Amino acid sequence: MFWRKSVNVLMLSLTGLCALVAVSVLFFILGYLVYHGGKDVNWDFFTKLPKPVGEAGGGMANAIVGSSKLLLLAALFGVPVGLLGGVYLAEFGGRAVPFVVRYTADLLNGVPSIVIGIFAYALVVMPVHHFSTFAGGFALGVMMIPIVLRSTEEFLRAVPPALREGAMALGASKWRTISSVVLPAASRGILTAALLALARVAGETAPLLFTAFGNRFWSPGWGQPIASLPVMIFTYAVGPYEDWHRQAWAAGLVLLGLVLITNIVVRTLLSRGTSPQRP
Amino acid sequence: MAQSSAKPAYNRTAAESSLTGAMETVLKPPVPSGSQTALEVPLRMQVRNLDFYYGKLRALHGVNLHIAANRITALIGPSGCGKSTLIRTFNRMHETVRGTRLEGEILLDGEDVFAQDVTRLRRRIGMVFQRPNPFPKSIFENVAYGLRINGLPAAQRGRLADAVEHSLRRAAVWDEVKDQLHKSAYALSGGQQQRLCIARALAVDPEMLLLDEPCSALDPVNTAKIEELLFHLKQNCTLVIVTHNMQQAARVSDASAFLLNGELIEFSPTPLLFTTPSDPRTEAYITGRFG
């Protein structure tokens, strides 16, 4: 009797403790970043270029703009491919082809990001012999494809078949049905998935190391190496200067903040309902 | 209309006159449309030797049916008897389900429906489903949808608002929604949504309207509203209604078809089918011995 009760109490506390650890990791990271980098997140950080080595101050404006440009390219490449692929999986196709596509997408989702980087390097950087914004955006876009594809499929499947029938019964073609009824009905879910995918690749460093490479200055156009927050954090964190370390912490805080804000906004949108409620 | 003189307006108490009128409608042999006299009601649709398969499962066995123009034809029978399957072949909605096969003939105004462009066919034959299925759009856009996708003149010439109002009036839902046309259709009650779906189907001015258990998700008040609406609609439209509610079939329809296990057991004027069924299986069903 006593033995049984103590095992019960022990296991209960153990599971509770592990749950607490899981939750507190995020808050610990956030607190640690604020502690080390909070002071350096100032106006200069968002508006100034990095100062030459040895000089104090400066910011990471180029990395913030760089990350934005990379993410824009990634979205332009990854979202349409993932979206249309997801439409194919949910609405067309027989049995064998969707199975292969779905399986491949899941495998692609599990490919280490550094391997995606090498792939983009071989495909985009090698032929033109220099790093570029375009190559970095392509690498991030490839990482977005499986996420957008699988979630688009899920959200389209959640649209009631009765809506499709209603449109078809009015004489709408299959494509017209999908574009004018099914996709709008699932649009909020798909938008959410796209933003989450974007937030996910925003923090990727490995695929950018030998595609976008990095840059201490502004990078006009799309054909030159470009700075990004994750690569900047990597470079500054392993650098030998105290000032760099503090700026790396600040960049980490900004990056995490952006990702967190995106997540919270998106989840609020999502909680308002994804598919039309049934009468 | 020439045939309207042959049949007096629907009158529940005057069962005799209604019966004679309906008999003329239904018991008339199928003749080519050219040879009709003024007294005969033209046929809108003819179904000949229709067999239907879901994969290897045979769902319909040699169904023959004539649907008279400007009449309400009811398809009744127990669950799984094939009445929904049958009505879905009329506008070829069965083609949206994989692995189905059909043999036999369906003629709309003498033309083979399978030889027609399916988009055009479905514009001519509207459909209302079991559960209200408005699109996640505004009330206005729901009704305008059919006009927009079919590129009808009303959609182009800016008379869209008139066309939408006209359809909503025909579906007897205008007064309830006229002040909230640009609100989401999901804000409406179930009964209003179903009438909105009828308005959506009517917007493209179909010759035929198929209703697949349109009241099964509604309360009695809304059911009564829809039944009343059907009487008005048959002036300009041929109606086919699937229902598992025998009282409803008796109330609204001019002719009734009883289906059992994929076979058409009996097809007669409604008053006749419900008072003196000729087949013992029909009698067993309408007296409530099964189903």
With 0-12 / 13-18 / 19 or more C-beta atoms within 10 angstroms meaning exposed / middle / buried, residue B147 is: buried
Q: Does A170 touch chain B (CB under 8 A)?
A: yes
Mean pLDDT of B238-263: 93
Q: At B226, is the pLDDT very low, low, confident or very high (cuts 50, 70, 90)?
A: very high
Task: Scan for tokens 């190391």, then name that residue.
Answer: A209
Q: Does B136 touch chain A (CB under 8 A)?
A: yes
The answer as to whether A108 is a domain residue is yes
Nearest Cα to A142, choosing from A43, A196, A97, A75? A75
Lowest mean pLDDT among A81-85, B31-35, B111-115: B31-35
The answer as to whether A3 is a domain residue is no
Q: Mean of the per-residue pLDDT values for chain B?
A: 85
For residue A162, give the nearest of B120, B129, B200 by CB distance.
Answer: B129
Rounded distance between C-alpha atoms, residue B72 and residue B270, angstroms: 10
Which strands sit side by side in the sheet containing B72-76, from one edge to the other? B111-112, B100-108, B43-54, B57-68, B263-269, B255-260, B72-76, B238-242, B208-212, B125-128
The answer as to whether A98 is a domain residue is yes
How far does CA B167 lie from the centroid of its chain? 17
- More confident call, B2 vs B159: B159
For residue B149, give the nearest of A170, A185, A279 by CB distance.
Answer: A170
The answer to whether the Cβ–Cβ distance between A278 and B131 falls below 8 Å is yes
The residue in chain A having the minimum alpha-carbon distance to the alpha carbon of residue B194 is A279
Indicate the SS3 state at residue B101: strand
Q: What is the DSSP letter of B288?
A: T
The answer as to whether A1 is a domain residue is no
Lowest mean pLDDT among A1-10, A128-137, B8-17, B224-233: B8-17
The answer to whether the Cβ–Cβ distance between A168 and B96 falls below 8 Å is yes
Q: Does A279 touch chain B (CB under 8 A)?
A: yes
**AA letter at B196:** L
Q: Does A176 touch chain B (CB under 8 A)?
A: yes
Rounded distance between C-alpha atoms, residue A3 and residue A87, angstroms: 57
Count CB atoms within 10 A of the CB of residue A99.
12
Q: At B18, is the pLDDT very low, low, confident or very high (cuts 50, 70, 90)?
A: very low
Q: What are phi and psi of A210, to 5 degrees?
A: -120, 35
With 0-12 / 13-18 / 19 or more C-beta atoms within 10 angstroms meaning exposed / middle / buried, residue B113 is: buried
The answer to whether the Cβ–Cβ distance between B93 and A176 falls below 8 Å is no
Q: Which residues contact B259 (CB under 8 A, 6 or more apart)?
A: B63, B75, B76, B77, B81, B82, B83, B86, B265
Q: Does B45 touch chain A (CB under 8 A)?
A: no
Q: Does A184 touch chain B (CB under 8 A)?
A: yes
Nearest Cα to A185, choosing from A98, A74, A87, A48? A87
ipTM above 0.95, yes or no: no
Q: At B51, is the pLDDT very low, low, confident or very high (cuts 50, 70, 90)?
A: very high
Tell me the per-residue pLDDT of A240-253, one tens digit each, with 9 for 90 and over: 988 889 899 999 99
Nearest Cα to A37, choosing from A258, A256, A249? A249
Q: Structurally, how many domains does chain A consist of? A: 1
Q: Mean of the per-residue pLDDT values for chain A?
A: 90
Mean pLDDT of B257-263: 93
Q: What is the pLDDT of residue B41?
A: 75
Structural domain that includes position A175: 38-271
In this predicted structure, the answer to whether residue A93 has a pLDDT above a threshold of 60 is yes
Strands B238-242 and B111-112: unpaired
Q: At B272, is the pLDDT very low, low, confident or very high (cuts 50, 70, 90)?
A: very high
The answer as to whether A279 is a domain residue is no
The answer as to whether A143 is a domain residue is yes
The answer as to whether A142 is a domain residue is yes
Q: What is the pLDDT of residue B150?
A: 84
Q: What are phi and psi of B46, to 5 degrees?
A: -125, 130
Provide, as residue numbers in chain A, all residues whose Cβ is less than 8 Å from the Cβ of B205: none
Enumerate domains of chain B plus CATH numbers: 2-7+41-286 (3.40.50.300)
The answer as to whether A68 is a domain residue is yes
Q: Does A180 touch chain B (CB under 8 A)?
A: yes
Q: How far is B96 from chain A (nearest CA, A)?
A: 8
Q: Does B133 touch chain A (CB under 8 A)?
A: yes
Please list the residues that pair with B74 across neighbouring strands.
B241, B256
Rounded distance between C-alpha atoms, residue B58 and residue B209, angstroms: 26
CATH number of A194's domain: 1.10.3720.10
Tell me the per-residue pLDDT of A11-53, one tens digit each, with 9 for 90 and over: 999 999 999 999 999 899 999 999 988 888 888 889 989 988 8
Provide, as residue numbers in chain A, all residues whose Cβ is less than 8 Å from the Cβ of B134: 166
Contact present, B27 and B64 (Cβ < 8 Å) = no
